[in-house]
Amino acid sequence: MDEFLGAGLRNIGITWEVSYKVDEDTDAGRYRAAGHTHISTYYE
């Protein structure tokens, strides 16, 4: 995760692990609700 974004999340009190996926997965229509698995690539 971008260091600026990670620091911003911590500054507003989010201290738990946050997962997110790359834009390519979103653009390709990969969503957990649609049955795809292991989509989140990064954890901060």
pLDDT of res. 13 = 93
Regarding pTM above 0.75, the answer is no
Domains of the chain, by residue range, sit at 3-43
Quote the CA–CA distance of 24 and 7 in Å, as a whole number: 24
2-44 pLDDT, tens digit each: 677 778 888 999 888 888 888 888 899 988 888 888 888 776 6
Spatial CA neighbour of 19 closest among 2, 42, 3, 36: 42
pLDDT of res. 2 = 64
